[in-house]
Structure 1
């Protein structure tokens, strides 16, 4: 798998194209049924190296109208690709007015890319029998009976500080790695959201 450093570019991605990348790069997870937006990472030749898909939270108790969830994140293992896509997804979500971005990982995954992008692990979630209910049937998309960890994107101020640090240490920071200053007014509002509750309690 490629791990060499290369200049990456961020571009919007159509739902079908994002799903095709999920099918190609992460076969154990089925494509989602929809999205709010998707973002792709390309090299200088235009080759797709990865994608992130962002949608409404899968858990209904987190679907408060101000929260989005990274439902898929796939790459070909190119260096910094995951953290760049996560940062771009958070920047885009904030541009739409959302105040919180979350995601889940399998419990055995280290979350190194999430930590590199400034995300924080909120809690560990026990295995769930599935999201299907008599009133809302759903098929298993690779997450049933799997212990997971819930993560949250950094506050806008923390994200901006990380972007400024990256800019100071690199002469040409990757496109999409910075966070616009125009959204720092959300600093106060982000903490006014209800705390993420554990549905098992």
Structure 2
């Protein structure tokens, strides 16, 4: 029987996988660390962890799982989320946050010990002082796991 195994990844490697497999998000600009899940030597999923995007959560003790993408391999999402939390807590962080679309079920996050802590309404980030190209707006759920 084959088992999932963790492997370290560069941001470029993780972003290439996200670009190919993520349903609705683009690759990220920066990260603290990225991890892959391999099955029989083949990369089947990635997670990218970084500083929280929301400034009020960026307190030095919180990290955000910015992206998780898989090829659909069973249990890979929960495996990667659990590994991200263990790594964060081992590094001294106290809280891990991540987001899903409000339309997504979140079973993998619940399986990794996360709980919903709030709803975030979709909004535009484009401002005159900081113009940005934007896609469609989606409401999201914020999930967290804390020690």
Fold shared per TM-score above 0.5: yes
What is residue 24 of structure 2 aligned with on the other side?
28
Cα drift, residue 133 of structure 1: 3.8
What is residue 4 of structure 2 aligned with on the other side?
8
Query: Is 2:33 the counterpart of 1:41?
Result: no
TM-score by length of 1: 0.68
Which of 138, 143, 146 aligns to 1:151? It is: 143
Distance 1:137 1:65 in 2: 27
Structure 1 residues 136 and 98: CA distance shift in structure 2, 3 A = farther
Structure 2 matches for 1:98-113, cutoff 5 A?
Answer: 98-113=93-108
Gaps of 5+ in 1: 157-201
Count of aligned positions: 147
Greater share of helix: 1
Structure 1 residues 138 and 99: CA distance shift in structure 2, 3 A = farther
Distance 1:137 1:23 in 2: 23
Distance 2:57 2:9 in 1: 25
Gaps of 5+ in 2: none
Structure 2 matches for 1:52-201, cutoff 5 A?
Answer: 52-130=47-125, 132-140=126-134, 145-153=137-145, 155-156=146-147
Cα drift, residue 66 of structure 1: 0.7
TM-score by length of 2: 0.92
Larger Rg: 1
Q: Is the 8 A contact 1:50 1:74 kept in 2?
A: yes
Structure 1 residues 66 and 138: CA distance shift in structure 2, 3 A = farther
Distance 1:123 1:19 in 2: 27
